[in-house]
Structure 1
Amino acid sequence: MKKMWGGRFTKTTDTRVEMFTSSLSFDKRLYKQDIKGSIAHTKMLVKTGIISREEGAQIIKGLVEIRDEIEKGKFPFRTEYEDIHMNIEKRLIEKIGPVGGKLHTARSRNDQVTLDVHLYMKEEISLILEMIAAFQKVLVEKAAENIYTIMPGYTHLQRAQPVSLGHHLMAYYNMLERDYQRFKDCYDRTDMMPLGAGALAGTTFPIDREYTAKVLGFSKIYENSIDAVSDRDFIMEFLAASAILMTHLSRLGEELVLWSTSEFSFIELDDSFTTGSSIMPQKKNPDVAELVRGKSGRVFGNLMALLAVMKSLPLAYHTDMQEDKERLFDTLDTVKACLKVMPPMIASMKIKKENMEKAAKGDFTNATDVADYLVRKGMPFRYAHEVVGKMVLYCLEKGKDLYSLTLKELKSFSDSFEDDIMDYISLQNCVKSRKSLGGTAFEEVEKAVNKARVYLESRENPLDEKICV
């Protein structure tokens, strides 16, 4: 099979090499972007007089027909043509004759492939932003339903202080907001057009890169041709943002796994988001949450793999960079799958409010409030901390909790205790009294929920494609 680049070679490519070097199995998903970029490139070639209007019309017609063939499953993909770019160009020449060979004027596969990825990622990042926003809305509404649901807050996975479940859920909302902004920032650096860089040095033809960028909807153009073909920062940045997002989803997944156990029994996941056991009839397993937790590892691995590929690569293009797409595509598929399944799982889960509140009463979660009470009576906090620590030890020895201590017992630790202590350290008061900005007080959580609702309603995805080819 004669290669499009075969003029310099005297031997045919070994079939083993063809199989080894081919990227068609994964880069054929870029066909829409490849054709879109080729149509824009053709329009530019016509505009600058590099090819005639008639030739441009033939090329564009052929490209549209090829796009239809691919979408109808009738396109003859050939591994020996290496990649999606050469498959489309070869098919174009078969359809319209030698004029199809003019399409590649003033461009290289080096700037062509990175253009395709830029276009593809712009669309995908925009979709991910929409999915994150949708998940945020689910979290906010679930938080709104549980502003007054009290649960134990944890540090070191030990019960620490009582908090509002709504407050806990809003923590994930805020994590996702940072994820949203990271992907939005990544979009800004993806929204750069590399086409026109050629193989690495630009071209001798009088091309109009600004026109091509406008047709394709890019806001910026790479200013250095070497950088344009060798840059994979935007992919690494996307993988890094994805890894952080998956860290957040994994943390939430882990909590769902823990909370759904009999030991915690804080929630019950809906049957439609759980699975059973092949041997144990009683089992209801949180497989979805576990898979989200597990899939974070493959995204972390994709990031590390691409960092390793790019490390120490001299400028400009190397075939090593072909390894970027499998890492990118796998991450995109994984992130979107997780963002698709988690919102309905959260929305449908049952909250066991009584169990949460019962747990919040245990393990002296109001101990800090007892210390705060003494501080309000004039005692230095460090001394108050020590006094309450001794009270907890006393309770542990007597099998009591702080709620059950008599006033006489309390005064044996400090004369500052009065009859109002029990109201002060009640579970409700422990939560509602934490009114500092960003605290767990019911009114603060309600403010956060309302603010988030207004923000999400007013925020539109600014990244939708405005210009189509």
Structure 2
Amino acid sequence: MSSTLWHGRFAGGPSEALQALNDSLPFDQRMFREDIAGSRAHVCMLCDVGLFTEAERDGVLVALDTVEHEIESGSFDFQVNDEDIHTAVERRVTELEPAGAKMHTGRSRNDQVATDLRLWTRSAIDEVLALIERLQRTLLAHAEQAGDAYLPGYTHLQQAQPVALSHHLLAHGWALARDAERLADARKRTNVSVLGAGALAGSSLPLDPEKSAAYLGFDAVFDNSLDGVADRDFVAEALFALSLLGVHLSRIGEEWILWASTEFGFVTLDDGFSTGSSMMPQKKNPDIAELARGKAGRLIGHLTGFLTTLKGLPLTYNKDMQEDKESLFDAVDTVRLTLLAL
């Protein structure tokens, strides 16, 4: 029988079909740093409340450092029974340090996974905010360089009034500013610790959720354990903010496509940001702008799909929630690539 963290009351192991559908390691292993950080905080809290000795705490912390180095270096030996990154880390820590078997004391996969995802989302938001600022600075620099240049302003895609090019470029900058505000606001609700909520109703052990939160830099602790475990609003908020950001980037891309066309002729694209045709040598295609436009549909799809998954779930945790990660991870990756390209 295969060994899992939950096999205690089972006489047989999971089928291959269940394992194939259930295993999330291929995508959630990117949260290994967050999982290790969460375990460090949990172990330190357990020591603070007397459920770990200092020697046990120190031994597990050293083992966690080793595991982090192994994964970063590519030398970590993932095994077939490692259904997710949490299982893999705990297994390896226990191999290195016997006290690792106590590392999960007072903790459920439910509050652990939610904590890891909040940590990952917090970091991802910070990265996207920095990239938004980078694009804003680029737009500002081009606006300053534009000087007294004017171009037609449009309504209904018909020439309406002349506008300064700088004014036009900065309009996109203000849209990006709102995107940044939305993400920063979503970060506030993301930065809440749920460690201590357990599977759904906490634990009879003398845990200290506030200490765990402090170790991880969270601003607050869950108010209700049921809601803490069930809450994926922060994922939905992030997906919405990223989708709307994607829409704004799509509109920038659409203008570049128009402006670079023969009919408009406002800009000439750099060779490094264009492609040609294998049949028509005169072509210079605005692929980056077209891809930025196309990615918006992908982002909206992630938001719609995730909300559809959430809408029918009763309290508290359901396995459907495993679908949160791939949508969020791909949305962040997509926005990151698009911001860097533009």
Which residue pairs with 2:167 in the alignment? 167
State the TM-score, normalized to the length of structure 1. Answer: 0.72
State the TM-score, normalized to the length of structure 2. Answer: 0.98
Deviation at 1:100, TM superposition (A): 1.3
1:2-31 per-position Cα deviation (integer Å, ceiling 9, x unaligned): 222111001111112111100100000000
Deviation at 1:209, TM superposition (A): 1.1
Runs of 4+ that moved beyond 3 A:
none
Which consecutive residues of structure 2, in runs of 5 or more, have no partner in the other structure? none
1:429-461 per-position Cα deviation (integer Å, ceiling 9, x unaligned): xxxxxxxxxxxxxxxxxxxxxxxxxxxxxxxxx
Pairs aligned (count): 341
Please state if 1:294 is matched with 2:303.
no
Which residue pairs with 2:63 in the alignment? 62
| Range 37-46 or range 275-284, more displaced | 275-284
Which residue pairs with 1:429 in the alignment? none
Which consecutive residues of structure 1, in runs of 5 or more, have no partner in the other structure? 343-469
Please state if 1:109 is matched with 2:109.
yes
1:191-210 per-position Cα deviation (integer Å, ceiling 9, x unaligned): 10011100000111111111
In 1, the alpha carbon distance for the partners of 2:65 and 2:147 equals: 54
In 1, the alpha carbon distance for the partners of 2:192 and 2:123 equals: 13
1:248-298 per-position Cα deviation (integer Å, ceiling 9, x unaligned): 000010010011011100001111111111222221110000000001111
For 2:158, the aligned partner's letter is Q
Which residue pairs with 1:141 in the alignment? 141
Indicate conservation of the 8 Å contact 1:19/1:79, yes or no: no
In 1, the alpha carbon distance for the partners of 2:4 and 2:138 equals: 53
3-state secondary structure, aligned to 2:81: helix
Percentage of identical aligned residues:
47
For 2:27, the aligned partner's letter is F
Which residue pairs with 1:215 in the alignment? 215
Structure number with larger C-alpha Rg:
1
Matches of residues 231-250 of structure 1 in structure 2 within 5 Å? 231-250=231-250
3-state secondary structure, aligned to 2:148: coil
Which residue pairs with 1:36 in the alignment? 37
Which residue pairs with 2:7 in the alignment? 6
In 2, the alpha carbon distance for the partners of 1:20 and 1:160 equals: 56
Indicate conservation of the 8 Å contact 1:136/1:176, yes or no: yes
1:69-88 per-position Cα deviation (integer Å, ceiling 9, x unaligned): 10111111124221100111
Deviation at 1:167, TM superposition (A): 0.9
Which residue pairs with 1:87 in the alignment? 88
For 1:330, the aligned partner's letter is D
Which residue pairs with 1:461 in the alignment? none
Indicate conservation of the 8 Å contact 2:3/2:81, yes or no: no
1:307-350 per-position Cα deviation (integer Å, ceiling 9, x unaligned): 001002100000000000000000000001111110xxxxxxxx
In 1, the alpha carbon distance for the partners of 2:82 and 2:165 equals: 57
3-state secondary structure, aligned to 1:163: strand
In 1, the alpha carbon distance for the partners of 2:171 and 2:32 equals: 40
Matches of residues 337-416 of structure 1 in structure 2 within 5 Å? 337-342=337-342
Matches of residues 263-282 of structure 1 in structure 2 within 5 Å? 263-282=263-282
Which residue pairs with 1:253 in the alignment? 253
Which residue pairs with 2:75 in the alignment? 74
Which residue pairs with 1:193 in the alignment? 193
In 2, the alpha carbon distance for the partners of 1:105 and 1:204 equals: 11
